[in-house]
Every structure is written in C-alpha cells, then in structure tokens.
Structure 1
Amino acid sequence: MTAYLGVDIGGTASRWVLLDADGAVIARGSAAGATGHVFNPAERERLLATLSTIAEAARNFSPTAACLGITGLGDSVHDVVRDMVAALLGIAPSAIQLGNDMELAFRATFAPGTGHLISAGTGSIGLHLTTDGQLIRVGGRGLLIDDAGSGTWIALNALDQLYRRIDETGGPADAALLAAELYADIGGEGWEQTRSFVYGGDRGRIGALAQAVARAASQGDPVANDILARAAIELARLASALIARAGPLPVAFIGGIITLHPGIKPALKAALPQAVMSFPQIDAAAHAAQWARDIHGDAVTGIVHASLPDPKA
C-alpha cells in the first residue's frame, strides 16, 4: 500500500495522519509534544521520543513520503531532523518535507495573501504569508521573552500574581480560588512544589497550568478573570500588528487557548471590533499528509495540487 504521512508537532501535543494513494485517511493518532530545538539536548530527546512513537504506529503502513510541521524548527537544523525522521521511518530523505508548524497551519487555513493567523496554545504567534511566499511573523519568541496570551504566559502570570499576594499578605488574599486550582495541578501548596514544577519541567507542562486558571475564572476568581482578559488583549495585539503591516484581511484564531474559557472569544471580538474574525478547527496533520502526497504522489495519482514549497529547495 502506498501511504503518505503528515505530522503536526506542537509543544504540548503532536498529531499524525496517514493518507492512501487516493487521498483517503487510513490512520491517525497522537503523540507527546516536542519542539525543533534540537540544539538543546533535552529537546532533542523529546523530539526523538515523539518521532519514535509515531514511527512505531505508522510502521505497518510503510509510508513512502512524509511532511512534518514542527514548532520551533529552524532552517539550520533541517538536515539533522530529516536524518532522524529518515532513520526512524525508513523513508528516503528526499521524500521528507520539513517546515514550521505555523506555516503549515496557515496554509491549512488560508491561501497565501488572504488572511492573518493567530495561534495561541503553549506559545503564541501571529503569521501572514504573502502571495509570493514571504512570511511576516509577530510574537512567537518563547516564554522567556514574550509569548503573550499563551498558555505559558497565562500560567506564569497567575503564579506571579499569586506569589506577590503571598509576599504582601502572607496568603493568597483575593486569589484564593486561583491558588487552590494551581496547587491542585502542581501537587502541593509549598514553594518547593511550585519551584520543582516550574523549573523542573518544560514549557508544555507549565502551559498546562492555564487550565487551572480557567477553572478558577469559571468560579469567579477576579485575578484569574483579569489574567484571561489580558491574554485576549495580547492575542488581539498580534492581529493588530499583522493588520497594520499587511492589510485589513480576515483574522483566524486557533489553538487551545481560544477555547480555554468562554470569555476568550468575546474578549477578542471586543478588542478587534472591525476585524472579520473566525475560529476554525483545522486539521494540520491531514494537510501535511496531503502536502506529501501532492509532492511525491503525482506519479501515482496523476494529480498535482497547490502545496507548500520544499524548504530544502
């Protein structure tokens, strides 16, 4: 059987899809999150583990080509990652297409030059792809610099606000509900537990604490609600930056933060009253598999579809 593999690797979770020669889905699944930061030994091991999980699941289908969108993947490490994929999946390096997960998501949402995409999950970033293939990106600089409005930003703001209150009053004060939800996910109320959770984990683990903030907000915690409102304003800022630079085009918001709490979407609409806005549910992994089929399957299908260029070309 001829099969084409598409993979969407994010910081928190990864998804994969296999298509047959006719473009029908024959299998799909998920794996742990990872990044393309293979210059970091720990991140290299995370990516290797994720790719190994996918390779094991896909082995029975013997994919002949693959396309992977990987968060944080830079041009300088394409050869390293391509070799990893080739070795694990038994696919010829020339049949492996690599790209950033955000460009993949954009092309699964808009044709080049027709919209702006804001993604808010573990991290946050805005992207516009011009008709001639130039990328305009805003944000997306990682939790140590910004990633405003993202899961990690929400979580770290919540911890900051909580511990400021503890410093000033000896307790959580008006953030008592937020404290209870955060401590439940962290696994304890002491600073030792918080320190171990934050500094001993990765950005995906930290970003998952945004769910605790959302739970507290749903219970009426004022600090949690304020953080989520500010997160929406930060995501709207990314859209405003793209509109200013590339024109008043439709804006699509994707990612787990958009559905984290019922107040997020109304807050985005209030912050961008003139924007044409949507909240699509995209299947980036399926789009990646179609990309692989487009590039490498035309000899079988006799069809060539619009597709991403090979980053190695």
Structure 2
Amino acid sequence: MSTFLGIDTGGTASRWVIVDDTGIVIDRGSAAGATGHLFNPVERERLTATLAGIADRARQHAPIAACLGITGLGEAVHAEARNLVGALFAIEPAMVLLGDDMDLAFRATFAPGTGHLVSAGTGSIGLHLRADGSLIRVGGRGLLIDDGGSGTWIALTALDQLYRRIDETGGPAEAERLAAELFAEVGGTGWSETRSFVYGSDRGRIGTLAPAVARAATAGDPLATDIIRRAAAELARLAKALIARVGPLPIAFIGGIVTLHPAIKSGIEAELPGAVVSFPQIDAAAHAAQWARQNYQTEARP
C-alpha cells in the first residue's frame, strides 16, 4: 500500500496527516511550529527539528510523496526545502510539493478564483487565489507593521491601552479586570515582568495573551470589549480590501481568533452586510495529503 504525507506548518504549531492510496486517513498528529525562513540559521534549525520530529512517526508508514504548506516559505528556497524534506522522509525530492501555509489554506477552502480567505491566528492575512494561480495578499505584514485583528495585535493593543491608562491615572482605571487577566499571564504586576514577557518573546508567545483579553471582555471589562470589537473590524477590513480589488465573492474567515470570543464573528458579520460570510473549520494537512496523492498518481500515470 502506498501512503502520502501532508503537513501544514504555521509559526506556532504544525499538523500532519498520512493517507493511503485510496485517500483514507491512516495517521495524523501535531508538532511544534516553524517557518520557511531558511535564510535564517535559527529558523532553518527550527524547521529541521520540527520536520525531524514528524519524520520519526511518519517514517513507519513510508510515504512516497508529500505536500507541505509552510508559513513564510518563499520560492527562492524551494529547492533547499525540497531536498531537506526528501532527506528526512526518504522521499524523492521530485515527489515533494511545496507552498506556503496560506496558499494551502485557501485551496482547502475554495477552488481558485471562487472566494476570499481571511486567516486570523497569531498573525492575520487576507488573500484571493486567482484561477491562474496568482495570489493577491492583503495585510500579513507582521507585528512590527500591522497584523490587525490577530492574536498578537489583540495582546499588544491591550497592553498599549492599559499602560496608557496607568500612565495617566496611576492605575488601570476602568480596565481592572483586563489588568488582572494580563498580569496573571505575564507573571506579575510590574513593568519589569511585562517587559520581560514581551521583549523576551516571539509573536507566538505574545499572542497567547489574547485569550486573557477575551476573558476580560466576557467578564464585562469595557476596554477589553472595545479591543475585541476593534479586532473584528480589522479582520473585516481585510475582506473589504479583497472585495475592492477583486469583486464580491464568498468570504471565509479561519483561525483561532475567529472563535476567541462571540463578538468576533458577530462583529465581522455586522461589518460586512450583504456579503456571503462563513467560518469553516478546515483541515489543511489532510488537504495537503490528498494533493500529494493526486499529484503522485498523475505523475506516475503512463
């Protein structure tokens, strides 16, 4: 029996699936996150470690082809990444399909040219994949520039607004519940603890503060509630930008932030009256495994 591997790698987590030659899932699992920034030695080592961990489990199924969507993987490093995957999984490099995680997510949600996708997790991005395979991307420029509505954006906006109140009044004022939730996560109420947490972390760890903001909003904290509302508007903005550039099409919102708080979904829908909006749960790793299977069967056909 031939088997085929699909991997969906994001900055904070990776998921993998193996299917047999009829397309039935026979194994799946998760691993640490990584990026495709192979030009950075630290990130190259991180990706190698993540893939090696998956290989330890997947190798028992001896996959003969693979498809990977890896965040930040540019075409300039495809050859290097293909050789890395081939060596770790004992797969011929020619049987390794590569792309970034958002291209994979789109294909798992829509056929090219038929919709708009907005993804909101640690970061945020909107994209439309044209029928010819070209991509239109909006947002997704990282925490130092934007990533509006993402987990990292929610966390940093909350800290910014909280500390402005502390500057002005000497305390959190009406944002006491938000302060309590955030400071419990960073490990203390002092600036030194917050500074160590934020400036000693990557965007993935910073984004883990977003649930604290959601909890405060659920408890009625007015500042947290406003930030959640603004996050929904930021995500809807990405959809509006795609509509302006491509035209009205169904819009799917995916990622952990969509389910962070009920006001996210309702806020998005309120911002996009008349649009066809959905919040699907996609399995990008399974889609990648099926893609690897289909590609192999096409290539192997006499």
Task: Give TM-score, length-normalised by structure 1.
Answer: 0.93
Q: Percent identity?
A: 72
Q: Distance in 2 between matches of 1:185 and 1:78?
A: 38
Partner of 2:103: 103
C-alpha distance in structure 2 between counterparts of 1:221 and 1:17, whole Å: 41
Query: Displacement of 1:227 after TM fit?
Result: 0.7
What is the distance in 1 between the residues matched to 2:37 and 2:261?
30
* Match of residue 281 from structure 2: 281
Amino acid at match of 1:231: A
Q: Distance in 2 between matches of 1:128 and 1:193?
A: 41
Q: What CA distance in whole angstroms lies between the structure 2 residues aligned with 1:46 and 1:237?
A: 33
Give 1:70 deviation, angstroms: 0.8
In 2, Cα distance between equivalents of 1:49 and 1:235 = 33
| CA positional deviation for 1:157 | 0.5
Please show how residues 68-217 of structure 1 align to structure 2 within 5 Å: 68-217=68-217
TM superposition shift of 1:258: 0.4
Conserved? CA contact 1:236–1:271, under 8 Å: yes
Match of 1:250 in 2: 250
Q: Deviations over 1:25-66 (max 9, x none)?
A: 000011111111222333223222211211112121111111
Alignment of 1:19-58 (within 5 A): 19-58=19-58
Q: Hey, what does 2:295 align to over in structure 1? A: 295
Supply the RMSD in Å over aligned alpha carbons.
Answer: 1.5
Alignment of 1:231-246 (within 5 A): 231-246=231-246
Residue ranges of structure 2 left out of the alignment (5+ in a row): none
**Alignment match, 1:266:** 266
How much has 1:299 moved relative to structure 2? 6.9
Distance 1:100 1:50 in 2: 16
**Amino acid in structure 2 at the alignment position of 1:262:** P
After TM superposition, give the deviation of residue 298 of structure 1 in Å: 4.1
Deviation per residue, 1:156-193 (Å, 9 max, x gap): 10111111112222222221111111112212222222
Q: Distance in 2 between matches of 1:221 and 1:175?
A: 6
1:100-151 CA distance string (max 9 Å, x none): 1111111111111111000001110111111111111111111111110111
Unaligned runs of 5+ in 1: 303-313
Q: TM-score, normalised by structure 2?
A: 0.96
Please give the alpha-carbon distance, in whole angstroms, between the structure 2 residues aligned to 1:68 and 1:133.
17
Q: CA deviation at 1:85?
A: 1.4
Q: What is the one-letter code of the residue matched to 2:211?
A: Q
* Counterpart-to-counterpart distance in 2, 1:83 and 1:162: 48
Q: Distance in 1 between matches of 2:34 and 2:259?
A: 22
Measure, in 1, the Cα distance between the counterparts of 2:43 and 2:177.
34
